[in-house]
Chain A
Amino acid sequence: MFERLGNWIREGQIWGSVFRHGVPRDRRTRAMAVLSNVFLHLHPVAVRKSGIRLSFTWCMGGITFFLFLVEIVTGVLLMFYYRPTVEYAYFDIQGLRAHVTLGLLRELHRWGAHAMIISIWLHMLRVFLTGSYKPPREFNWAVGVILLVLTMLLSFTGYLLPWDQLAMWAITVGSNMARATPVVGYEGPGAACIQIGGVPLVHAGDDARFGLLAGTFVGPNALLRFYVLHCVFIPCVVTVLLAVHFWRIRKDGGISGPL
């Protein structure tokens, strides 16, 4: 009964228009299943047996990617509720807990972010310990390092958004570093050299920290700036780099293994 229904669906025009291949039961159709699907096509048709053993990759890259997707989905949902202004931010976050049905969004987003930081470190550790950065994968390792930096920046910019004491002071501590940047931070070595006729050009009102916070302290401008960086700019860059990363895994000969 169900089998006949299934066959009827699979032989119909609608199913056939979506999935161009037959049921993946033999080698050919299974290959087609991967080849003709834009998402699965990230993978080659066949991979080294050792490469997909969990004990080899720990699936850490995959887990990182999955967590990134979780962050995107929950993040978009959070954006429906959250306004990046000093008046609203904190209370919007509070409201998420009190008024939104199944209010787990913020928890999922926050714990997902922490988990992603951990998994990306472990992914890097795995790649290092298997020597997978060695030729021909040098460039992909470099792409990975940039992804690592961006992931940490994503977390850092997001940390401010709840606008509570924890957020504000963590970002204050973090961004205070920027004023010590050599040359372009006003308390950094070399900044005093940049002057015209005794008038310093690098001061608290135009140095690196000012650029980061759009002000001399963590205030409304910083909140807006971090919000845009967190929700738009960095995720876009990460997405592009992820495309490069995945593309290069294939172009470099798939998951590494002994020659």
Chain B
Amino acid sequence: MTQFLASGSGMDGIKHIINVLCEPHWFLILSCVALAVFMVGYRTFTKPPIAAALAGVSTLFFIASCLDPNFFSIVSKGDNVPIVMMMVTLAFVLWIAFRQAAINDERMEKGEPLLEAGADDKVLVWPDLVYIELICLVLLTAFLVVWAIFLRAPLEQPADPNVAPNPAKAPWYFLGLQEMLVYFDPWLAGVVLPGLIVVGLIAVPYLDKNPRGNGYYTFKQRPFAIGTFMFGFGILWIVLIIFGTFLRGPNWNFFGPYEFWDHNKPAALLNVEFHDLFWIQMLGRPLPTEDVAFIPAYIIREIAGIAVLGVYFIAGPIILRAVFFRKLYVQMGFIRFSVMAMLFLVMMLMPIKMALRWTLNLHYIVGITEWFLNV
């Protein structure tokens, strides 16, 4: 079996297919599809036998993949082991959460009490809670000690400002942000967007006016809130981290999971600017270089991109309100809805820019390089 998995030309074919499926666009699209399928069919997928089967298949797949030297050398790097652990735990807790949501949703349809029901059912902290905490503490200590014994903390060569490693990666928990750098300039990917993530998270309780689903697992009662969070956290954060860690090699090039990290692979070229598309391709004119009255030339050059963004952020909320969120708007009111829509649109800027990159190889929508103001 092992030999069959490790060698064999059929195996190479499969590996090749997987390598291709891991390319940025396929990887992102497939993860989104997987998330959507899971959320639509959460009642089915979380049934214990099905969940167990899924877990088993993924484990087998992972073990088989580890037989590939390129795959193994990446997942077994000291600082990457925690990410593998995170993926396993995340899958497990998501199962726990959505399983209970499925049960609760079913019970509410039938008018039965929730899993968490019984507000007056109180137990004493000593012994019930204190003992749980104690057991948790002991198990966790044991786990950490074993982990520390078997996996050495990485220590590379002494720091040398003259020798830059390739790729130079940020700590893994920031790799989602580093991956965003592929699509946005540092002022957005490294400063503004992370800032807005924090602001957006703090704003969540003040924006979500849905009174239901407070203090128990449910999905049916708050599909939009949970769906958005799962997209933001699951795809735009976790999947991008996985991507940045496991599939980005030298020069931040893409490498499939079974591919050798070849330093000579040429870096991707980006050469399509939105202003070129607009002025040269659409209007058949050269780029404007002269100021008009008090309007500087670069504003005129970028006028189309600015207009597109303006329409996106002004018409966006109006369309969202009219088409998708009529009820939500009534519930939230004007100000809350506007803030929510803005944050939502900023978040969606990421997948939109990705899609533009994959299809048109677009570099900047608005590229005022004179001011470092590029979107």
Kindly state whether residue B205 has any CB partner on chain A within 8 Å: yes
Task: Say how far A218's CB is from chain B's closest CB, in angstroms.
Answer: 7
Residues of A within 8 A of B157 (CB): 164-165
B187 touching A180 by the CB < 8 A rule? yes
Task: Say how far A82's CB is from chain B's closest CB, in angstroms.
Answer: 13
A24 touching B156 by the CB < 8 A rule? no
A191 to B371, CA, bound (A): 8
B156 touching A50 by the CB < 8 A rule? no
A48 touching B121 by the CB < 8 A rule? yes
A141 to B45, CA, bound (A): 30
Q: Which of B190-198, B264-272, B337-345 touches A?
A: B190-198
Residues of B within 8 A of A217 (CB): 161
Most A C-beta atoms less than 10 A away, residue of B128, B187, B192, B198: B187
Size bin of chain B's contact surface? 35 or more
Q: Which of A8-16, A62-70, A227-235, A241-249 touches B?
A: A62-70
Residues of A within 8 A of B114 (CB): 258
Residues of B within 8 A of A258 (CB): 114, 116-117, 119, 214-216
A182 touching B187 by the CB < 8 A rule? yes
Residues of A within 8 A of B140 (CB): 63, 66-67
B128 touching A168 by the CB < 8 A rule? no
State the interface size on chain A (CB cutoff 8 A).
Answer: 99
Residues of B within 8 A of A125 (CB): 90, 93, 97, 233
Kindly state whether residue A126 has any CB partner on chain B within 8 Å: yes
Residues of A within 8 A of B190 (CB): 176-178, 180
Which residue of the partner chain, among A27, A58, A149, contacts B93 with CB atoms under 8 Å? A58
A93 touching B118 by the CB < 8 A rule? no
Residues of B within 8 A of A182 (CB): 187, 191-192
Residues of B within 8 A of A104 (CB): 145, 148-149
Residues of A within 8 A of B158 (CB): 90, 163-165
A190 to B164, CA, bound (A): 30
A128 to B187, CA, bound (A): 29
Residues of A within 8 A of B218 (CB): 131
A165 to B331, CA, bound (A): 53
B207-238 interface code vs A (CB 8 A; 1 in, 0 out): 01011111111100010011001000100000
B160 touching A165 by the CB < 8 A rule? yes
B121-159 interface code vs A (CB 8 A; 1 in, 0 out): 111111111101100110011001101110111111111
B165 touching A46 by the CB < 8 A rule? no
- The secondary-structure label for the interface of chain A is helix
Q: Contacts A31-B124, A50-B115, A52-B128; is A107 near B153 (CB within 8 Å)? A: yes
Kindly state whether residue A167 has any CB partner on chain B within 8 Å: yes
Which residue on A lies nearest to B123, using beta carbons?
A: A49
B215 touching A106 by the CB < 8 A rule? no
Residues of A within 8 A of B36 (CB): none
Kindly state whether residue B173 has any CB partner on chain A within 8 Å: yes
Kindly state whether residue A112 has any CB partner on chain B within 8 Å: yes
Interface residues, chain B, with chain A CB atoms under 8 Å away: 79, 82, 85-86, 89-90, 93, 96-97, 100-101, 114-119, 121-130, 132-133, 136-137, 140-141, 144-145, 147-149, 151-161, 163-165, 168-171, 173-174, 177-178, 185-187, 189-192, 198, 201-202, 204-206, 208, 210-218, 222, 225-226, 229, 233, 368, 371-373
Query: Known pairs A55-B96, A166-B165, A257-B216. 8 more at Cβ < 8 A?
Result: A54-B132, A62-B136, A66-B137, A115-B144, A130-B215, A133-B208, A165-B157, A257-B116
Interface residues, chain A, with chain B CB atoms under 8 Å away: 24, 27, 30-31, 33-34, 40, 43-50, 52, 54-56, 58-60, 62-63, 66-67, 70, 86, 90, 93-94, 97, 104, 106-108, 110-112, 114-115, 117-118, 121-122, 125-126, 128-135, 137-138, 141-142, 145, 148-149, 152, 155-156, 159, 162-170, 172-174, 176-182, 185, 187-192, 217-219, 256-259
